[in-house]
Chain A
Amino acid sequence: DTAVSQTPKYLVTQMGNDKSIKCEQNLGHDTMYWYKQDSKKFLKIMFSYNNKELIINETVPNRFSPKSPDKAHLNLHINSLELGDSAVYFCASSQDGVNTLHFGNGTRLTVT
Chain B
Amino acid sequence: SQKIEQNSEALNIQEGKTATLTCNYTNYSPAYLQWYRQDPGRGPVFLLLIRENEKEKRKERLKVTFDTTLKQSLFHITASQPADSATYLCALDFTGGGNKLTFGTGTQLKVEL
Contacts and interface: CB of A to CB of B under 8 A. Distances in A.
Q: Give the most central of B42, B45, B101: most A CB within 10 Å.
A: B101
Interface residues of B, number: 22
Nearest to A48: B99
Contact of B46 (A42, A50, A100, A105): A100
A92 B36 CA distance: 13
Interface in B38-79: 41-46, 49
Interface in A42-63: 42-45, 48, 50, 55-56
Nearest to B93: A99
Chain A interface, DSSP helix/strand/loop, else mixed: strand
Contacts of A99: 32, 34, 49, 93, 98-99, 101
Interface of B: 32, 34, 36, 41-46, 49, 87, 89, 91, 93, 98-103, 105-106
